[in-house]
Amino acid sequence: MNKPKLIPASLRPGDTVGIVAPAGVLPDRALIEPGIRFLSEKGLRVQLPTDLWPGCDFLADTDEKRLAEFHQAFADPEVKALIALRGGYGCLRLLEHLDLECIKKHPKWFIGFSDISLLQNYLYSRTNLLCLHGPTFTSLANIDTESRERLYRSLCGAWDQAIDTSNVRIVQAESQTVRGILVGGNLASLVSLLGTQFDLCWKKKIVFLEDVHEPRYKLDKMLTQLAVAGKLRNVSGVLLGCFSPPAPDAADEKRQQAYTGFVCQRLVELLGDRSIPIWANMPCGHCRQNYVLPIGSNTTMDGPNKRLLFSG
């Protein structure tokens, strides 16, 4: 029997959004201004720490302080949602110390992507809390208007809004309709969980993957590692987001398409004769279109009608 999902309450005008930094250091304080402006224009309050994360080498702060900030934001009754400052690296160092009871007692939307997807998948697997894979606070300056608006609508209750799939390419099994819980996120981050107590079961799941600026041989290695570890054996479907090649190829559209094509081809090879749906070019990840995906939601890949549907 499946446990009921923890679906956070919708935000209302005047609510407070807490900005937390469980991962990388803030490289430039100017990066937070667009996020403050966007949320304020939507009638939301923004809570930032007074010292704006002093930094601890490549991390936003020490493990102890990042963890305390995360727990405090969940426990604070004034904070109604949490948005991660940025990705980078650092979430893996926090997983074993998370206070899951505190988080279950105070379910709130937690938004971010990249390294943040580790926390989101772990929280869903241990608490059934739905999380929003979507823009980080500092990335709000670099995404398109629709991505920002979808984030706001999701926070206000429309987290199950359909995604425009007009540019999505169905790589294989286009006649199939499959259902499963949505999991996944950044490929390199998820691979780091293999062999640990924090790894997430992908059986009968719809798995979303994306990554940025990785050489092709590293993508091949990571996808192959997933396959030989058995992670792809019983998935229901695969959604591929943005896969951006290393510079300078990232600015070349033809090379971008060839790079994404390589990922699709390798995944087809690894799945072998299993007719598992693969959809590519999802508008999510390290790109200007970074639409929200509800991690932990009941998800349907409707191949015949090319629809991606979400529900609680």
136 CB-near residues (< 8 Å, 6+ apart): 83, 84, 85, 86, 87, 111, 112, 113, 114, 116
Does the residue 5 lie in any domain? no
Does the residue 83 lie in any domain? yes
Can you give the pLDDT at residue 2? 64
Domain with 150 in it: what CATH number?
3.40.50.10740
Range of the domain at 137: 16-156
Q: How far apart are CA 51 and CA 44, in angstroms?
A: 21
Low-confidence residues in the chain, pLDDT < 50:
1
pLDDT tens-digit series, residues 137-190: 999 999 999 999 999 999 999 999 999 999 999 999 999 999 999 999 999 999
Q: How far apart are CA 36 and CA 21, in angstroms?
A: 15
Same domain, 82 and 187: no
Question: Among the three residues 94, 128, 156, which one is the final residue of a domain in this structure?
Answer: 156
Q: How far apart are CA 190 and CA 307, in angstroms?
A: 26
Same domain, 75 and 198: no
Same domain, 208 and 238: yes
Same domain, 167 and 306: yes
Does the residue 6 lie in any domain? no
Same domain, 242 and 272: yes
Tokens of 98: 């998370």
pLDDT tens-digit series, residues 236-256: 999 999 998 887 776 678 888
Q: How many domains does the chain have?
A: 2
Neighbours of 166 (CB within 10 A): 8
